[in-house]
Amino acid sequence: MSGEQELGITESKEHSPGEWYAEVVQKAGLADYAPMGGFIVTRPRGYAIWERIQNNLDGWFKNTGVQNAYFPLFIPESYLEKEKDVVEGFDPEVAWVTHGGHDELEERLAVRPTSESIIAPFMAQWTRSHRDLPMRLNQWCSVVRWEATETKPFFRTKEFLWQEGHTAHADEDGAWEETMTRLDQYARLYEEVMAMPPLKGRKPPHDKFPGAHTTTTIETLMPDGKTVQAATSHYLGTSFGEAFDITYADADEEENTAHTTSWGLSWRAMGALIMTHSDDQGLVLPPALAPDQVVVVPIWQEDNKDEVIDYAADLAAELDEDGVRVELDDREHRNPGFKYNEHELHGVPLRVEIGPHEVEDGEATLVHRPDGETETVDRDGIADTVTDHLDTVHAKLYADAEETLEGEIREAESREEILGTIGQHGGYVKCGWCGDEDCEEPIKDAIAAEIVMVPLDRDEEPIHDDCAICGEDAEETAYFAKSY
Amino acid sequence: MSGEQELGITESKEHSPGEWYAEVVQKAGLADYAPMGGFIVTRPRGYAIWERIQNNLDGWFKNTGVQNAYFPLFIPESYLEKEKDVVEGFDPEVAWVTHGGHDELEERLAVRPTSESIIAPFMAQWTRSHRDLPMRLNQWCSVVRWEATETKPFFRTKEFLWQEGHTAHADEDGAWEETMTRLDQYARLYEEVMAMPPLKGRKPPHDKFPGAHTTTTIETLMPDGKTVQAATSHYLGTSFGEAFDITYADADEEENTAHTTSWGLSWRAMGALIMTHSDDQGLVLPPALAPDQVVVVPIWQEDNKDEVIDYAADLAAELDEDGVRVELDDREHRNPGFKYNEHELHGVPLRVEIGPHEVEDGEATLVHRPDGETETVDRDGIADTVTDHLDTVHAKLYADAEETLEGEIREAESREEILGTIGQHGGYVKCGWCGDEDCEEPIKDAIAAEIVMVPLDRDEEPIHDDCAICGEDAEETAYFAKSY
Ligand SMILES: [Zn+2]
Ligand SMILES: [Zn+2]
């Protein structure tokens, strides 16, 4: 690193969001491109964010009866084929292992694109009695899908990190409750940890996970007006239970088919996070996910160096003892301006500036990363004050994103209005919909916007009486949007 | 599960250790065999042990400057070839991905067998100045090595879980200190968490990691007299630095080559753990790794059912509040004998029995899993008492393993004596060694025992003046043993 030129973000979030995103990811040290197209290297600052997402979710999962397990990386072709029989339209583009050492394999092995087809047969084996249910398994792993698209770190990569939960239940009620529990936990992650307002909904029937009875989704809106499918939770009905013989003896010794669910969240969540909060100075992170929550920067002259640094070090130590993730930046070879820029680039939520004035007055100056708001506060009680300010930073990020979202859900009553509104503003357009996939086509063809969700509640009345496209009776409300 | 017959271990640890091990792993619910030879499914009870191993090590790593990262699952063939140039003898048997979707790839991709060849080029890119050093990266992941051997869960599998640490340092001192720090952390894991006495040593030069300057090892002795290489930490010198151009500008702006290390521990540690402590009743686990540390079993008659169960539930709740991982087993459809067997099979370190006598006298009966030792204790202060007993269980396991180890290190002064001693007793035989690989051959050929380590300290005097095999001057002490 040889200077500010190299350090700073040069692209504009507003005018070239794609280039800006790529620059933030690389210059903030989150990820680099791997030599093979479609793959990335997740650097420590990026991986630390993923670990915090994991820790939050994993704790909630475990508190609600989920157990982690680990299934093989490879799935025999015949197992994938079996899934094909079950679920129409399942034809994953996968990476195939054909050779082990110097020998060709008798049967090709797929690098897992998702693990239903290897997990379900084992669930069948482990599920004998109603006492074995509910069975709730989860694994944190990487999956590979050989899609030929341009690489966009965390959004579009051939290999990505995720968790996949797979559960079996005695009946529909249990399985539906499970589906909702996980959807709610994903929503909680977005709200409480990532400072992003989630929309909860169902995917339209033609866009369900193959074989699912119902696919529920968390959608989050990006600043460029596109939506991101930010997590999904599927109620699979008995389709997998029947196909893979996941049956159990009930209390009367009668054999029944289990109802299953699956649910997943990938590192795409990180992509949505970066895209939502960051700006032309670089990364912006909510305090819950920031590797460093606070940086303390002492600003000294030769004649007051020792006392300024001691004061700053003492303050940092107090924050550290209180459980705040804090860094003291007392590097000699960098000036304060350089340090400010660097920590802004890295997304440290709160900066504490300590100069001779702060030392003299027993104070500290706090600067919020998202908006530069500055406040000078008492040194006494600094840990509580800093914690309050971190909460404020989270609240600001959330409020900003919520305000954006609220202005970006519009209504339309005709095909032209849908096209015009999304064309001009982006965001979501809701309208009456007859339920026919054909009515999505003209919108998709014209502006590549789709029905990204319908309301979670099946009984909710459609907002308009008629389908905005064909004019037939509306069955539900469709949310059209462009999608990542 | 339909009864005690199916539940219990039928093989003998002493007489058929291989079959016994496989039975314990499956019946205790740790792992199942996957449909493809060489792969296993790690079930929740097994994965929970691995997670606790991870959590311990990961915390120590982070406290000593290590950052986690994630590198791609696949490595282009040309990258692996480059490593071949560097390190003589490196020719891994790997799984090759040749097709993505319906297309053949231009360049084959190896499923990572280890990640040096993909991590080193990035370290080179990120290392500019001495201020970037030390750089300490670690990843938790799975690796694949296509070795055609019989599957033995956690010991021999084509895919296995591990962590691989990779670090770069300005000089030999820094890199050597790193190598020792990680070796000591592995030793600590074995002692404090796994209740197993580790031997620390160096691999003989002919058995180093290819390209390494020094390979250090943790060896642990199994009850059948064979040793397990239980973790390794390599000082790589500048060989990888030179091959991959990991250089840095020092304080005088002079370009230098970094010294690197790598170090790893795999789920083989779990295999060694199971093999060491378990018995003909099933799994035995040290309290630090047990998913459930304590099971409370109420033993009631119809006329005292409520008070016995309430008393037991209250006691379990108190343990839980104190941070003990406790399960209350109040299942109606199982009798106490069945429950005892099941929890013994699963390796729960401590059983608390609560019958009408315990309720009447304000007591609780504690039973240690490893040896069945039973003590009736006061209900008051139960959390402290239980914690003490858990410590005692750990100490017992450690003392047993240590006693075994101490009796199993013998000396020999001739080839015949080495062969006879290992042939009769197994264990380690130490002897003078000239340092020539040729002197290992006759032992290897005759009884498949090898030099599994030499002392960590290069300056340590050999125990005998002469090499036990060729009679030339001894350079160091060799430890011969059969190995997993
Ligand atoms: Zn319509
Ligand atoms: Zn010799």
Mean pLDDT of A267-279: 98
Residue A87: band (very low, low, confident or very high) from pLDDT cuts 50, 70, 90: low
Closest ligand to C-alpha of residue B441 is 2
3-state secondary structure B124-193: HHHCCEHHHCCEEEEEEEEEECCCCCCCECCCECCEEEEEEEEEEECCHHHHHHHHHHHHHHHHHHHHHH
The answer to whether residues A363 and A376 touch, using CB atoms and an 8 Å cutoff, is yes
- Enumerate the β-bridge partners of residue B430: B411, B479
The answer to whether residues B153 and B22 touch, using CB atoms and an 8 Å cutoff, is yes
- For the question of an ipTM over 0.85, the answer is yes
Q: Does A407 touch chain B (CB under 8 A)?
A: no
Please check the confidence at residue A444 and state whether its pLDDT lies above 50. yes
Q: Say what the pLDDT of residue A81 is.
A: 85
The Cα–Cα gap between B71 and A36 comes to 12
- Contact residues for A67 (Cβ-Cβ < 8 A; gap 6+): A136, A137, A138, B44, B47, B48
Contact B39 A101 (CB under 8 A): no
Closest to B317 in 3D by CA, of B396, B404, B383: B383
Tens-digit pLDDT profile for residues A235-244? 999 999 999 9
The Cα–Cα gap between A277 and A282 comes to 10
The minimal CB distance from B95 to the residues A40, A76, A100 is found for A100
Kindly report the length of chain B.
484
Identity of the residue numbered A301: Q
3-state secondary structure B304-337: HHHHHHHHHHHHHHHHHHCCCCEEECCCCCCCHH
B100 vs A contacts (CB less than 8 Å): 93-96, 146, 158
Contact B72 A97 (CB under 8 A): no
Contact B43 A69 (CB under 8 A): yes
Contact A118 B34 (CB under 8 A): yes
The answer to whether residues B372 and B284 touch, using CB atoms and an 8 Å cutoff, is no
Q: Say what the pLDDT of residue B149 is.
A: 81
Minimal CA separation from A261 to chain B, in Å: 18
Other CB atoms within 10 A of residue A226 CB:
18
The Cα–Cα gap between A481 and A221 comes to 9
Q: Give long-range contacts, CB 8 A cutoff, 24+ apart: A158-162.
A: A158/A36, A158/A37, A158/A38, A158/A39, A158/A95, A158/B100, A159/A38, A159/A39, A159/B72, A159/B73, A159/B74, A160/A266, A160/A267, A160/A268, A161/A42, A161/A50, A161/A266, A161/A267, A161/B70, A162/A264, A162/A265, A162/A266, A162/A267
Give the containing element (helix H, strand E) for A231.
strand A227-237
Considering only alpha carbons, which residue of chain B is nearest residue A26? B126
The minimal CB distance from B122 to the residues A41, A95, A161 is found for A41
Contact A100 B97 (CB under 8 A): no
Give the containing element (helix H, strand E) for A96.
strand A95-100
Tens-digit pLDDT profile for residues B360-384? 999 999 999 999 999 999 999 999 9
Closest to A166 in 3D by CA, of A102, A218, A123: A123
Residue A396: strand, helix, or coil:
helix
Q: Does B7 touch chain A (CB under 8 A)?
A: no
Contact B32 A122 (CB under 8 A): yes
Q: Does B96 touch chain A (CB under 8 A)?
A: yes
Contact A101 B93 (CB under 8 A): yes
Q: Does A317 touch chain B (CB under 8 A)?
A: no
Residue A91: band (very low, low, confident or very high) from pLDDT cuts 50, 70, 90: low
Please check the confidence at residue A136 and state whether its pLDDT lies above 70. yes
Minimal CA separation from B5 to chain A, in Å: 17
The Cα–Cα gap between B346 and B282 comes to 7
Question: Ligand 1 centroid vs A437 CA: distance in angstroms?
Answer: 8
Minimal CA separation from A46 to chain B, in Å: 8
Please check the confidence at residue A337 and state whether its pLDDT lies above 90. yes
Q: Say what the pLDDT of residue A156 is.
A: 94
Q: Name the token pair of B405.
A: 């180890």
Please check the confidence at residue A71 and state whether its pLDDT lies above 50. yes
Q: Does B157 touch chain A (CB under 8 A)?
A: no
Exposure pattern of B168-193 as b/e (b: 16+ CB <10 Å)?
bbbeeebbbebbbbbbbbbbebbeeb
Exposure pattern of B451-467 as b/e (b: 16+ CB <10 Å)?
bbbbbeeeeeebbbebb
User: Best residue in B70, B98, B151 to probe A by mutation, most A CBs within 10 Å?
Assistant: B70
Cα distances from B304 to residues A6, A439, B298, B352, B363, in angstroms, run 77, 68, 11, 18, 16
The Cα–Cα gap between B225 and B180 comes to 27
The Cα–Cα gap between A480 and A422 comes to 8
Torsion angle in degrees (nearest 10) through CA of B83, B86, B88, B93: 0
Q: Name the token pair of B186.
A: 């592995």
Please check the confidence at residue A120 and state whether its pLDDT lies above 50. yes
Q: Does B81 touch chain A (CB under 8 A)?
A: no
Q: Is the pTM of this model over 0.90?
A: yes
**Per-residue pLDDT tens listing for chain B (484 residues):** 333 446 799 999 999 999 999 999 999 999 999 999 999 999 999 999 999 999 999 999 999 999 999 999 999 999 988 877 666 655 668 999 999 998 999 999 999 999 999 999 999 999 999 999 999 999 999 999 998 788 999 999 999 999 999 999 999 999 999 999 999 999 999 999 999 999 999 999 999 988 899 999 999 999 999 999 999 999 999 999 999 999 999 999 999 999 999 999 999 999 999 999 999 999 999 999 999 999 999 999 999 999 999 999 999 999 999 999 999 999 999 999 999 999 999 999 999 999 999 999 999 999 999 999 999 999 999 999 999 999 999 999 999 999 999 999 999 999 999 999 999 999 999 999 999 999 999 999 999 999 999 999 999 999 999 999 999 999 999 999 999 9
Q: Does A40 touch chain B (CB under 8 A)?
A: yes
Closest to A146 in 3D by CA, of A158, A160, A161: A158
Q: Name the token pair of B268.
A: 């083989």
The Cα–Cα gap between A342 and A357 comes to 24
Closest to A100 in 3D by CA, of B142, B100, B94: B94
Contact B68 A79 (CB under 8 A): no
Tens-digit pLDDT profile for residues B292-309? 999 999 999 999 999 999
Closest ligand to C-alpha of residue B451 is 2
Query: Half-sphere exposure (CA, 13 Å, Cβ side) for B410?
Result: 20
The minimal CB distance from A97 to the residues B47, B97, B142 is found for B97
Minimal CA separation from A268 to chain B, in Å: 15
Cα distances from B33 to residues A118, A122, A401, B153, B300, in angstroms, run 12, 10, 48, 8, 39
Angle at A461 between CA A457 and CA A462, to 5 degrees: 105
A148 vs B contacts (CB less than 8 Å): 101
Other CB atoms within 10 A of residue A423 CB:
12
Give the containing element (helix H, strand E) for A469.
none
E strand residue ranges, A287-427: 294-298, 326-328, 350-354, 363-368, 374-378, 409-411
The minimal CB distance from B73 to the residues A79, A125, A159 is found for A159
Q: Name the token pair of A146.
A: 């050989």
The Cα–Cα gap between B81 and B59 comes to 35
Contact A72 B109 (CB under 8 A): no
The minimal CB distance from B137 to the residues A32, A44, A137 is found for A44
State the residue for tokens 């930010």: A230
Other CB atoms within 10 A of residue A28 CB:
23
Q: Say what the pLDDT of residue B4 is.
A: 40
Q: Say what the pLDDT of residue A90 is.
A: 59
A74 vs B contacts (CB less than 8 Å): 36, 39, 95, 159
φ, ψ of residue B261 in degrees (nearest 5): -135, 160
Angle at A275 between CA A270 and CA A277, to 5 degrees: 95
Q: Does B142 touch chain A (CB under 8 A)?
A: yes
Q: Say what the pLDDT of residue A175 is.
A: 98
The Cα–Cα gap between B480 and B150 comes to 24
B95 vs A contacts (CB less than 8 Å): 74, 97, 99-100, 109
Q: Name the token pair of B83.
A: 């490593």
Cβ burial, residue A301 (10 Å; 0-12/13-18/19+) = exposed
Considering only alpha carbons, which residue of chain A is nearest residue B47? A69
